[in-house]
Amino acid sequence: MARIDQYSRLKHHRVSTSGQQFTIPTSEDHTDETWLSTDLYIGEVGMNITDDTMFFRTNNGIVQIATGTSSGGTTSTANNIWSFSSPNIIIGSTYSASSVSPRSGVYTDLGTTTLRWKDLYLGGSSTTVAQINSNGPLVIKESADNILTTGGAVSSNAPIEINSFSSNANKDRVLFLNTRYGLANGSSNYIVIASSNTVNTNDNSYVFVGAGSGVSFNNSVEYVTHFGKGYGRPVWKSDTTTVAGSLAVKGMADDGSTQYNQSDWITSQSLLRTTNATTTDLVTIPWTATSSGGDVLQVKAYIIGTNIADAKKVYSAEMFGCYSIDGSLVVTEIGTPILNAQSSWSGTQPDLEMYADGSGFYLKATGIGATTIQWLCSFSYHKLINVTP
């Protein structure tokens, strides 16, 4: 190999007019008097010394290498387009881009399944709204299971699904928090659903559902707030709040005696169909502790019994009663249950009774032989517990 002792300096092709770009010549001979001052050979480097830009020409054209600014005879790292300041790579303050884009749409991944970025910080300041703009469904997943999806299918297995679009058009699902399965469709919907079980809705409007078990709405669902499990009723058309199952109104905090920790005022419904003159349970409320006693129970009930073959025959009643079971498990009826009843039956009448034993409280209905009676009872109760010495 030859020894090289040459100590020459090389000045690259340069221009000094701001904004001036380098060009490709019409020939490959710079002596034929056709070349411009901005023309480059393949492999040649050119600089705009005013704009602090550098270019070189390849077989494919002219490529910009970098942009940078120097100050006071030394390179200013902060003003380079990219600079390494351990342990960070920094975009220079003078040339910070308003966006960083791939060379074409849907082209570049940010990290891989094995080589991942760590934290993602968004927003220009503490008051700036950060945006994630996705042209299509957005999915956040842990391993193979989706955690959050927007615009995704209900069967995505994500515990959180948010499906919303930037328009004033009606939404199929404005907010859908679902840990199992749900379906919402229809044409005029402003729906929020929180579910841990199946929810099915159809032609919906202004619906909020909080479900712990299956809820099935049908056609003409309007203006509904629904909590709890559903009973497959075909129409929920109301401006009311619906509580399926039982509603517990917790108005008391325990005072340390533990007598109030189940003092909720419970409201619920029960139904019964009788086809004979047998006495059958319509409401059952167990004692809190059948082995130690100490409960005092107060019950208020509204009952109707209707002959399903003749809606003119109706038995309507209001009942009130109070019962206790002491520490010796002795059950006491406090006074006499109050019964206010009206009936359009003639002759043999349906009947109601209240009583309690060592297991709990009962409200029973007695039907009429060979007559099908549909009973409905709406009842409320509360109780003190641990009423013992």
For residue range 112-125, list pLDDT tens digits in order.
888 888 888 887 67
Confidence of residue 108 (pLDDT cuts 50, 70, 90): confident
Higher pLDDT pick, 360 / 8: 360
Over residues 127-133, mean pLDDT: 75
Residue 166 scores a pLDDT above 80 = no
d(CA 155, CA 18): 58
* Confidence (pLDDT) at 106: 77
Q: 97-100 — which CB contacts under 8 Å span 24+ positions?
A: none
pLDDT at position 174, please? Answer: 47
- Cis bond leading into 87, ω under 30°? yes
Q: How far from chain centre, in Å, is Cα 145?
A: 16
Which of the residue ranges 125-129, 156-160, 193-197, 263-267 has the most confident prediction, judged by mean pLDDT?
Answer: 263-267
Nearest 5°: the CA angle 338, 344, 348 is: 80
pLDDT value for 171: 43
From the CA atom positions of the chain, what is the Rg in Å? 40
Tell me which of 173-177, 210-214, 364-368, 371-375 is least confident: 173-177
Structure tokens at 135: 């042209």
The 8-class DSSP code of residue 99 comes to -
In whole angstroms, give the CA distance from residue 122 to residue 117: 14
pLDDT in tens, 40-95: 999 999 998 888 788 889 898 888 775 554 444 344 455 556 666 677 777 766 55
Average pLDDT across the chain, whole number: 78
Instruction: Please report where in the chains the tokens 């109780």 appear, as a residue.
Output: 383
For the ranges 15-19, 149-153, 307-311, 341-345, the lowest mean pLDDT is seen at: 149-153
Position with higher pLDDT, 265 vs 182: 265
Q: What is the pLDDT of residue 324?
A: 96
Kindly provide the b/e burial profile for residues 5-15, where b requires at least 16 CB atoms within 10 angstroms of the residue's own CB.
Answer: eeeeeeeebeb
Give the mean pLDDT of 122-130: 74
pTM for the whole thing? 0.56
- The most confident of 129-133, 177-181, 336-340, by mean pLDDT: 336-340
* 382 vs 321: CA distance, rounded Å: 11
The reported pLDDT for the residue numbered 94 is 59
**What local confidence, expressed as pLDDT, does residue 10 receive?**
77
Q: Above 60 in pLDDT, residue 211?
A: yes
